[in-house]
Structure 1
């Protein structure tokens, strides 16, 4: 057995610890009884520590030393070289964090997730506050161990978007504010809001499940390699090779929420499901970054799912399941799923205002991690920023600071991925339109194969071989350019709102 094959088998063996953790986490979010949390957190913490200790072990180091020797490395193929490079980068990063810290963080976040659910149900931040205090403290410790040059938040950003710095993120945000805020004002002042009252009513949950499954089928989601369930906060989990699970949630009052949550999570799932088998159970067996991952979910949710061509086809499916829509045209449906409104909840936000929800969270996170604000101040600071950005204050913490699950998971540095994902998606779309010139006709006929094949060929098949900026440049010929997103938004919504 050659050294690279031996290394892959070693990586596959230790990856199975995290497959078990993923399965337990998915179960906690979907079917596990409430009283399971305490002991489940210990099991997950122990398995996470086992994985971590194995990954940063002397054995990993010896493999990397051997495979990095010039005479060995030069004879590896492109995938082999990428595996060594990516694993070495991850190893050197993870080696800085003590295994006990990983275990403590996993145990704390598992408990915190349960506390967050209770706090959100009761709209009482204080229930979640003590555990969040502990998570923030542990996260700052992680950032210090990882190291940074200018901003402690850089260390956390790098975990989700390798190479990105806080300064560049702030520059991107400034560009969006400068170019989007005047357009938003124009939409509200001069735009004609489309009719959407036909989406209000009582809609059977069972029929909504059927509609969500039809959307996943349209996307070519393979139910032999995945499933759809319900959770408090929609998410996608890759348990392991050929096992990717999406969750959604339903409201009887409006079918749009569940439909687009499902399409969003389906976009994540397709990315994971189309990573080549040669990458399975190695560090290449995941997306290039969280922002590239979000580009796939936002691409399907907004550019496709909220696009006119999708509704030419999908309006028929909607009417088969919900006959009350029989007299509503596909164009009316298309416009009705693109209403622009200032909202309290990020996941309810439209394409135009969505990124401002992310800016708010980023500014709070960055200040919190750099000790400029305290956890106990979060509800009031959140409300102040909501007033600043949207001119309104949430009526309670459930619609404010408690609405997102991410902080209970310790995912500080993650939120910017959503905004960057929107920008990447628009840049990818600009290229796809040139490469698949009849994509809109295909979609209108209910055929998403051309779009999916383009994404597989240009994004999915590379897994984590490239850093996000490298991948973006490889696909589009340039690094991140937020102008594509601004142009896409202005063109689309100027037409919908008849500006």
Structure 2
């Protein structure tokens, strides 16, 4: 029985790996004329994965293993637990709808990209409406009796719902907004120090170097370019990252590369013991984002990191010669409410996430309609950040997530910020993090994260991981303290 189970898991993982490769091709190099065929290929393979997961043979096999779970090893027991959850979610969806939705989200990414290029939300609205409707319908099929959006949130972060996130975001808002006002009354222009152009080739070379520096294994990974940075895993030995380059914003690619590198390092350092199981993935999207946000912000935006890395950076960005690590630190941490989430400073970043969370919640409740999103988006940007998007590309069309069907994903970024500050608090008790960064010994940080978080994959739940690492559940006080201490020092 175990042997048959392993055969089925291998088959399932091979299909999922092929889907990942098609998705990579779709988002990095497929010509516009190829979107239709590739969408159909993704739909066909998605149906194969669906048919395997919902087949009587596979369900019977999983149920038999569940009955005999006391005889199973820890890894297989956890696989069975997660598969039962997956089967319950998927088997209620009619196969033709599952395939249609897979094709739709593959096609939607091309529609989104074109709409973003032309600042034309109206051309994207119909397909976005279908994506939201499919998500609602699929949750209704599950008949949980719970709020539809809460069920979706729980899919991304176990135990999360509207009530918890409303309290969570309210707490962040109550702390961040007053601090933002303090800083606004003490404005500085630190960024002029890094206001220079860097051509794409220089940025590409630095991206490769900085990935090696932070510990991403380029023999088991690759970096390419896409409209929106992302990480995609074929296996722990084939992890693919993308970034994007703006010649007039040379630090943009640095932070998107470090962010995706954090995701990639997590995937590459999952234990060999679970490499060929369904556990070879992040514990949750919140834990995954904690790793990318940890590398991007807590490491990459620290002064100590730039003390250690500045000499190497100057080889690729000679414009940095004559600029101190302290000047770079202040420039990359200047607080300035902005239109684009991925370019936002740490302090205002969570306000961007709140906007997306409130919009998704409003669409699910019926308060908002998809066709009205540009105006809703604009009003929320003015309310929370005091800036107004003039174009769809700098407003409602800036993120790829909805076109991929990632509804309910955005809160993971804010949860990741909170987890990352908790992780830092524990890490600092065990060794001198600042000293390690100044000496460029980032292997110490990677080893610690791999030992305490990465190696487990999905073997442990997000709650188990964060409690094991920090001794408590999720707690936003460390993130709030981190922001206050950091920005009050920068702005005196």
Partner of 1:416: 411
Matched, 1:166 2:165: no
Deviating above 6 A after TM superposition, structure 1's stretches of 4 or more consecutive aligned residues are none
| 8 Å CA contact 1:194, 1:496 repeated in 2 | no
Instruction: Report SS of the residue matched to 2:71.
Output: coil
- 1:10 aligned to 8, 11, 20, which one? 8
Partner of 1:188: 184
- 1:77 aligned to 51, 67, 73, which one? 73
Offset of 1:194 from its aligned partner? Answer: 5.3
Partner of 1:443: 437
- 2:142 aligned to 114, 124, 146, which one? 146
TM-aligned CA distance change 1:281 to 1:158, over 3 Å: farther
Q: What is the alpha-carbon root mean square deviation over aligned residues?
A: 1.3
Matched, 1:476 2:470: yes
Matched, 1:20 2:15: no
Q: Distance in 2 between matches of 1:242 and 1:153?
A: 35
Instruction: Report SS of the residue matched to 1:9.
Output: helix
Partner of 1:463: 457
| 8 Å CA contact 2:196, 2:319 repeated in 1 | no
Q: Distance in 2 between matches of 1:424 and 1:59?
A: 40
| 8 Å CA contact 1:241, 1:281 repeated in 2 | no
Q: Distance in 1 between matches of 2:10 and 2:429?
A: 39
Partner of 1:117: 113
- 2:277 aligned to 254, 275, 282, which one? 282
Q: Distance in 2 between matches of 1:257 and 1:345?
A: 11
Partner of 2:378: 383
Offset of 1:179 from its aligned partner? Answer: 1.5
- 2:294 aligned to 291, 295, 299, which one? 299
Partner of 1:271: 266
TM-score normalised by length of structure 1: 0.96
Instruction: Report SS of the residue matched to 1:340.
Output: coil
Q: Distance in 1 between matches of 2:35 and 2:322?
A: 48
Q: Which runs of 5+ in 1 are unaligned?
A: none
Q: Distance in 1 between matches of 2:435 and 2:244?
A: 31
Summarize deviations over 1:117-161 as a string: whole Å, max 9, x none: 111101011111111121111111112123444421012112211
Partner of 1:360: 355
Matched, 1:199 2:197: no
TM-score normalised by length of structure 2: 0.97
| 8 Å CA contact 1:113, 1:409 repeated in 2 | yes
| 8 Å CA contact 2:236, 2:269 repeated in 1 | no
Q: Distance in 1 between matches of 2:352 and 2:382?
A: 12
Summarize deviations over 1:294-333 as a string: whole Å, max 9, x none: 0000000000000111101111112122222211111111
Q: Which runs of 5+ in 2 are unaligned?
A: none
Q: Distance in 1 between matches of 2:30 and 2:276?
A: 26
- 1:397 aligned to 387, 392, 395, which one? 392
Q: Distance in 2 between matches of 1:54 and 1:471?
A: 30
Summarize deviations over 1:325-353 as a string: whole Å, max 9, x none: 21111111111111111001101101000
Q: Distance in 2 between matches of 1:93 and 1:163?
A: 16
Q: Distance in 1 between matches of 2:406 and 2:319?
A: 42
Summarize deviations over 1:337-384 as a string: whole Å, max 9, x none: 111110011011010000000000000001102222111111111111
Offset of 1:438 from its aligned partner? Answer: 2.1
Q: Aligned residue pairs: how many?
A: 492
Q: Distance in 2 between matches of 1:313 and 1:215?
A: 12
Offset of 1:459 from its aligned partner? Answer: 0.8
After TM superposition, the structure 1 stretch with the greater mean CA deviation from structure 2, 470-479 or 220-229, is 470-479
| 8 Å CA contact 1:146, 1:155 repeated in 2 | no
